[in-house]
Amino acid sequence: MIMDGVTQIPDKTAKNEITPEMVAEHGLTTEEYERIVAALGRAPNITELGIYSVMWSEHCSYKSSKVHLKTLPTEAPWVICGPGENAGIIDIGDNQAIIFKMESHNHPSYIEPYQGAATGVGGILRDVFTMGARPIANMNALRFGAPDHPKTKHLVSGVVAGIGGYGNCVGVPTVGGETSFDASYNGNILVNAMTVGLADKDNIFYSAAAGIGNPVIYVGSKTGRDGIHGATMASAEFTEDSEAKRPTVQVGDPFTEKLLIEACLELMASDAIIAIQDMGAAGLTSSSVEMASKGGVGFDLDLDKVPQREEGMTPYEMCLSESQERMLMVLKPGREDFAKGIFEKWGLDFAIIGKITDTGRLTITWRGEIAGDMPIASLVDDAPVYERPFVAGVKQALLKAGDIPAPDDYGDALMKLIGGANLSSRRWVWEQYDHMVMADTVARPGGDAAVVRIHGSEKGLAMSTDCTPRYCLADAHEGGKQAVAETWRNITAVGAKPLAITDCLNFGNPEKPEIMGQFAEAVAGMGEACRALDYPVVSGNVSLYNETNGTAILPTPAIGGVGVMASIRRMATVPFKRYGDVIILIGESKGHLGASIYLQEVLGRKTPEELGAPPPVDLAAERRNGDFVRPLIEEGLVDTCHDLSDGGLIVALAEMAMASKAGGIGAEIDAGFISPSLAVPLHGILFGEDQGRYLIAVTEEIAADILRRAEAENVPAVQIGATGGDALVIRHEGTEAVKLSVSDMTSAHESWLPTYMSG
Amino acid sequence: MKARVHVTLKPGVLDPQGKAIEHSLSDLGFEGIGGVRQGKFIEIELAETDAAKAEAMVEEMCKKLLSNVVIENYSIELEWLKGV
Amino acid sequence: MKARVHVTLKPGVLDPQGKAIEHSLSDLGFEGIGGVRQGKFIEIELAETDAAKAEAMVEEMCKKLLSNVVIENYSIELEWLKGV
Amino acid sequence: MKSAVIVFPASNCDRDIAVALEKITGTKPHMVWHGDSDLPQVDFIALPGGFSYGDYLRSGAMAARSPIVAEVMRRASAGVSVFGICNGFQVLTEAGLLPGALMRNAGLKFICRDVKLRVENAGTRFTNAYAQDQIITLPVAHHDGNYFADEGTLKALEDNGQVVFRYVDENGEASETGNPNGSQHNIAGIINANGNVLGMMPHPERLIEAELGGSDGRALFDSVLNALESA
Ligand SMILES: Nc1ncnc2c1ncn2[C@@H]1O[C@H](COP(=O)(O)OP(=O)(O)O)[C@@H](O)[C@H]1O
Ligand SMILES: [Mg+2]
C-alpha cells in the first residue's frame, strides 16, 4: 500500500471490499479478522480495519506479553499509580510525586536515526507531562551493532544527535543512560528513552473520560500523513524491504513540544481538565479509544474539525496518523474559551472535535457521513491475548575460575577493557546532551546513578538504566534479576533509596517458542528481584519482533530505576577524593567469571557454551549489602562509593581513579586481602563479576568504624588497600601484578569512542 | 565541474523550520504567504570533467550521504566552472 | 508565485558543515572533490502576482530575516506556479 | 536591583537565570513574555539561554525580530544593562546590539561541558568582582557558539577591550585545545562599545553553588550589583 514515498490508501468512500490481502497487510490473522466481523456484526470498512489493526497490534494490545506482565509486582505503599496509565507514579513525600516511564523507538531509529530517536524522546516526554508532571530528567538506553559493522557509526551519530536535538531544545536535561555494542543489534538497534517528571501529588491527571456531552478537545500540532502504521511497524519483524516502508518515520518538532509542555502545565494549574491523554502510537485512534474505555463512555468525533496540515486526507489517514506533538483532552463544560486562550497564547492549535456519549461506541463522522462506528469494548477488551508457547532456555554450565586462563598481562587486559568498545567512557555521548539545564543536576552523567535535585529543596532524585544482555542470553531468568538488581545497586551507590522501576522489554519474535521462553523467564526473574528488593514495576513498554531476517537481538530487558535521597549534601560519587583513604570492598567475591566481559573481550569467547552461566544474583545478599551501604552515605560517613559491574573489581577501581580530578588519585591494593582462604585465582578476583558488591573509600578512623559495623551486621567487608600516588597498583603474593598510571588509563578510556566516531 | 544539489523534504513530511519561518514572516507583517519549506543547498566542486560520470557520482553521493531518502528528495544540477 | 531563495555563506567565512561533508565524502571513497559548501534553500509561496512587487518583497524578507548579512549572501529566483 | 528576564517561546534557561538573580540579588526578576509590549523600568535585562523559536533558520534570528527586542534595544541605547547568555547572546548579535555572528560549532556537535575562561576585562559593570585575568570555570551548552566577525571588527573588539571572556586551556592559554567550538580569537563573551551590553556563550547562572559543581558564576551577578551600588 505504500509506494514510492507516497502513502496510497484506498478511500473508504470507494466502498472497496476488505480482501484477505488487506487483512494480512494490516498484520491481522484470519482469526482476528473473524473476531472483528463478529464484534461489528458486519464486515469493517477500511478505516475500521485500520483502527482494529492498530488497537490489536502487539504494540497497543500487549497480546503476547500480557499474561507474563501480570505476574510482576506493582504495588508498594509509595506507589500512587502502577502500570496501565500513561506513566507510573510514586509518592516521594512533601506532596510531591514522581511520574516516569521508559519507551522504545527501535525501528524508526534504525530507518532514520536522527528523527527516530528524536521523536522517541518527544513521545516519552508527552507520556509524562500528560499526567501533570514537569519533566525534570531524561535518560536513554542505547544498543548498537558491532563497531565494525558498516552502519553502526552512522546510527550512533544520528541517534545521539537526535536525542540531544530534541531534549536540549525542550530544555529537559538528559542525565544518564547506557550505551553498548553487540553484533546481534547490527540490523536492529535499540533506542529506549525514559522521562522522569515531578508533579504535585494532589494535582495528577488521568485519562479516563467522563461527563456525557462534555467536549473532546484536540491541541498541539496539525495532523498530517506522518507515520501511518507506526504501531504495526513496531509490531512486525524487520526484513530488507521494511526499508521501503520509509514514510512511516515522523519528523519531530521539539519547538512545538516545548510550547505544548508549557501550555498544558499552565492549563493544568486550573481546574478545567477532566481527562487528558497524549496521542502516541496510533494517534487519535488509540488516545480516544483509551480515554473512552477507561471512562466507560463513548466518543463521537467529527474528523472535519481535526486541524489538518495536508489536503485531502481520508478518515483512515486521520485516524491512524502518528503526527507528533498532539494531545487529546476532555474539558469541563464552559471552560473551552479559557483553555483556548492558553493554547493560542502559545501558538498552538485548539479544536473541539467531538463529545462524550453514553453509547459506548467510537463513532467517527467525516463530511457528514459515518466513517466508522465501533464498540469501544471490542477495540480494547476483545483484543486477542495469546498464551504463546515457550520453551525454557538452555542453562549454561557454571565455569570455575580455575579452569579459565589468566591473562598474559593483567595491566594489558585492563587497558583492553577500559579502552574498548563496551567499557570506554561515554563522554562523547553525554556531552552532546544538555545535562545541566534546569540547574538542578547534582550528579552529572558518568557516575553510577544520575542525581537531580528536587527544585527548591534539598531532596535528590537518583536514576539509573541498566541491563546486561549477555547475561540474559546465557540465562534469561538470572539476567532479568540482575538488570533489576543493578539499577537498585546504582541508585544505592549514590546514597538514595530505590523506590520503583519502569522497564522496556526488547526481545525478538514472540511467535518463536525460544524467544517467548526468554521473555517469560526474564519477566519471572525481574519479578523475583522486584519482590525481594521492595522495588515494584510502575510502568513499562514491550518491544517485540526485534529481528532482522530471522536473527533475534540479545534478550534486552532494559530497566529504569528511580530512588530518592533526603539531602543531596550527603551523596556519594565515584571519584577518589583524598590521598590516604582506606578502600573497602563490600560484598562477597567468589571469582565468578562466567559470561563476564573478561571472557568476551580479553579471551575472545563468543558462543554461549564458551561463555557459561552468568553470575548468580543472591537477592538476600544484594539487599543486605545495599541496606548496609546506604545509611553510611546518609549519615555522611561515606562520600566515595562505586558499585561493581562489568569488568569486576579491577575496572571499578580504575574508574574511581580515572574520575578523580587533577591528574588522578591512584590506589594501592593488595589482592591477598580479598580472599586469602578461598582458592580463587587472581584473575577471578580482579575480573569476576560477582553481584551485590560496592567499593567505598573513607578516612582511616571512619574505616575502622565501618568494618566494625559490617562485622556486627554480618556484611562481608574487607579493607583491600588505600588511595595514593598517581597509579593503580595491585600487589599479589609479593609481586606487582598491575601498575598503570591514572593518566595512561584515562587516555585509553577517553579516546576510544571519539576516535571511533571520527574515524 | 561544479554540482549543485538541492535536498528538500518530501511533500507531506512535516517541516518544522519552514513552519516557523512562515510564522515569523507573517509576524513581521509580510502578507499573502501560502507556505514556506526549507531545504539544503550543497555545492560540490569536482575534478571529473565528463558530465555523465559526474552526474552518476553526485547521484551516488546523494544516496549515500547527502540525503536520507526516507524523508528527503534531492535534485542535481551540473555547471561548468568558468575558466576550467 | 513561488520564490526560491538561496542563502549561502560569504566567501571567506569558514563553513564547518561543508568541510564535514567533504571529509565524509572522501571517507566514502569519492575522489577528486575540490571543495564543498552548504547553504540553505527556502521556497516561499506567495499570493502576489506582480513579479516586481514579489521580488521586492522577498528581497525585504531576506534582509529582515532569512539571511544574516554578517556571514551570508542570498539570491532570489521567482517562478510562476503551474496553473496559477 | 530591579531586573527583567525576557521569555521567548522555547527559551529554556529562563527559570535558571531567574533563580540565580533572586538568590544573588535578593529580588525576583520580572518575567516578561515576548508578546507583552511593555517592559517594566528595570536596571538589568537578561536574555536567557534556550532554543527560542526552536533555533530554526538561525539561532536567535526570529527572536531578534520580535517586538520586545525592539524595546530592549531602546533600553540598551538608554544605557540599561543588557545581558545575553547563550541563546541570549545569539539574539543580541542577530539584533545587531553586538557585532559578529555565532555559527555552528566547528565540531558540528552540540557540546555541554565545563570550560575554562579567562576574564579579559575585569573593568566592566558585569565583571568587576572578578580579578583581571582570573581563570574561571563555567559550563557551555550550545550547538552554535562559534564566534565569527570580520578582521576589522575583531581588531576593534580587541583594541577596545571588548573581549570580556576568552576560552583557555588547562594552562590558561587561549589555545586551540582550549577552544570548544572554533570561535575566532577564542572569544567566549563580548561587550558593546558603551559597556552596557554583554553577551556570552557560557552559562554563569548554572554554576552559582557548590552543589552544582562550582560557584564561579556568582561574581558576574555580584559585579552587576556592585556597579549599581556605586553608580
Ligand atoms: N546514552 C547515554 N546517555 C547518557 N549517559 C550515558 C549514556 N550511556 C552511558 N552513559 C553514562 O555513562 C556512565 C557509565 O555507564 P554504565 O557503564 O552503563 O554505568 P554502570 O555500569 O554504573 O551502570 C553512566 O553514568 C551513564 O549514565
Ligand atoms: Mg554503576
- pLDDT average, residue stretch A230-251: 54
Instruction: Write down the pLDDT at residue A679.
Output: 72
Return the closest-CA partner of residue A219 out of A273, A172, A171.
A273
Give the Å distances, CA to CA, from A652 to A417, A636, A718: 11, 22, 16
CB distance B4 to C6 below 8 Å: no
With contacts defined as CB-CB under 8 Å, which chain D residues touch A439? 13, 15-16, 19-20, 205-206, 212
Q: What's the pLDDT tens digit per position in B27-79?
A: 999 999 999 999 999 999 999 999 999 999 999 999 999 998 888 999 999 98
User: Distance from C18 to chain B by nearest Cα, in Å?
Assistant: 8
Q: Domain locations in chain D? A: 3-230
CA of A178 to the centre of ligand 1 (A): 4
> What is the pLDDT at residue A10?
42
Cell numbers standing for residue A86: 500513561
Burial of C12 (0-12, 13-18, 19+ CB in 10 A): exposed
Q: What is the mean pLDDT of residues D61-82?
A: 96
Residue C15 lies in a domain: yes
Q: Residue B17 and residue D62: Cβ atoms within 8 Å?
A: no
Average the pLDDT over each of A234-243, A410-419, B15-24, D206-215 and give the range with the smallest value. A234-243
Q: What own/partner pairs with CB < 8 Å and gap ≥ 24 does D128-133 have?
A: D128/D223, D128/D226, D128/D227, D129/D219, D129/D220, D129/D222, D129/D223, D129/D226, D130/D219, D130/D220, D130/D223
pLDDT of residue B70: 84
Examine the residue annotation and report whether A749 is marked as an active-site residue of this protein.
no
- Annotation marks residue A68 as catalytic: no
pLDDT score, position A241: 47
Cβ distance A226 to B14 less than 8 Å, yes or no, reads: yes
Closest Cβ–Cβ partner in D101, D105, D108 for C68: D101
The answer to whether the CB atoms of B27 and D65 lie below 8 A apart is yes
**What is the pLDDT at residue A242?**
45
pLDDT of amino acid B16? 94
Given an 8 Å threshold on Cβ–Cβ distance, is D55 in contact with A442?
A: no
Mutate which of A157, A163, A430, A752 to test ligand 1's pocket (most atoms within 8 Å of Cβ)?
A: A430
Atom of ligand 1 nearest to the CA of A490: 22
How far is C49 from C81, CA to CA, in rounded Å? 10
The CATH number linked to B52 is 3.30.1280.10
pLDDT of A246: 37
Secondary structure (DSSP) of chain D: --EEEEE-TTB-SHHHHHHHHHHHHSSPPEEEETT-------SEEEE--B-GGGG-SSTTHHHHTSHHHHHHHHHHHTT-EEEEETHHHHHHHHTTSSSSEEEPPTT-S-EEEEEEEEES-TTSTTTTTSPTT-EEEEEEEES--EEE--HHHHHHHHHTT-EEEEEE-TTS---STT-SS--GGGEEEEE-TTS-EEEESS-GGG-SBGGGTB-TTHHHHHHHHHHHHH-
Distance from residue A669's CA to the centre of ligand 1 (Å): 26
Residue C14: its pLDDT value, please?
87
In a domain, C84, yes or no: no
Q: Provide the domain limits for residue B57.
A: 2-79
- The string over A727-742, giving b where at least 16 C-beta atoms fall within 10 Å of a residue's C-beta and e elsewhere, is bbbbbbeeeebbebbb
- Ligand 2 center–CA A491 separation, angstroms: 8
- Report the pLDDT averaged over residues A739-751: 97
**pLDDT value at residue A226:** 85
Which of A426, A466, A504, A573 best tests ligand 1's pocket when mutated (most atoms within 8 Å of CB)?
A426
Tell me the ipTM for this assembly. Answer: 0.94
Query: Which H, E and C letters describe A250-312, residue by residue?
Result: CCCCHHHHHHHHHHHHHHHCCCCEEEEEECCCCHHHHHHHHHHHHHCCEEEEEHHHCCECCCC
Query: What number does the ligand 1 atom closest to the CA of A160 have?
Result: 1
Question: pLDDT tens-digit profile of A151-171?
Answer: 999 999 999 999 999 999 999
Q: Across residues A699-719, what is the average pLDDT?
A: 97
CB pairs under 8 A between B and C: 94
Interface of A with B in 237-296 (CB under 8 A): 246-247, 249-253, 255-256
Q: Which whole number is the average pLDDT over A201-219?
A: 97
**Which ligand has the shortest distance to the CA of A424?**
1
Chain A residues in contact with B10 by the CB 8 A cut-off are 5, 247
What's the pTM value of the predicted model, to 2 decimals?
A: 0.94
Neighbours of chain D (3+ CB pairs under 8 A): A, B, C
Between A344 and A225, where is the model more confident? A344
Structurally, chain B folds into a number of domains equal to 1
Report which bound ligand comes closest to the CA of A694: 2
Q: Say whether pLDDT at A675 is over 70.
A: no
Report the pLDDT value the prediction gives residue C5, as an integer from 0 to 100.
97
Identify the nearest ligand to the CA of A177 by its number: 1
Closest approach of D112 to chain B, Cα-based (Å): 24
Q: What is the pLDDT of residue A1?
A: 26
With a 6 Å cutoff on the Cβ, whether A124 touches ligand 1 is no
Q: B8 in a domain, yes or no?
A: yes
B64 in any annotated domain: yes
Residue C64's pLDDT band (boundaries 50, 70, 90)? very high
Amino acid A743 reads: S
- Kindly give, in sequence order, each residue whose CB lies less than 8 Å from that of residue A387, ignoring residues fewer than 6 positions away: A67
How much is the pLDDT for D174?
97
Whole-number average pLDDT of chain C: 91
pLDDT tens for D128-157 read 999 999 999 999 999 999 999 999 999 999
Whether A431 sits inside 8 A of D111 (CB atoms) is yes
Please list every residue in chain B whose beta carbon sits closer than 8 Å to the beta carbon of residue A324: 14
Collect all residues with Cβ–Cβ distance below 8 Å to A384 and sequence separation of at least 6: A32, A35, A56, A61, A63
* Rounded mean pLDDT, A573-582: 97
What's the mean per-residue pLDDT of chain A?
Answer: 93
Does residue A401 contact residue A684 with C-beta atoms inside 8 Å? yes
> From the CB of A181, is ligand 1 less than 6 Å away?
no
- CA A111 – CA A106 distance, rounded (Å): 9
**Average of per-residue pLDDT across A696-715:** 97
Q: Are B6 and B40 in contact (CB under 8 A)?
A: yes
CA of A466, closest atom in ligand 1? 23
C64 touches chain D (CB under 8 A): yes
Q: Position A696: which residue type?
A: I
CATH number, span D3-230: 3.40.50.880
Question: Are residues B17 and D54, on separate chains, in Cβ contact within 8 Å?
Answer: yes
Instruction: For residue B17, tell me if it sits in a domain.
Output: yes
- Given a cut of 50, whether residue D10 has pLDDT beyond it is yes
Interchain proximity B20–D57, CB inside 8 Å: yes
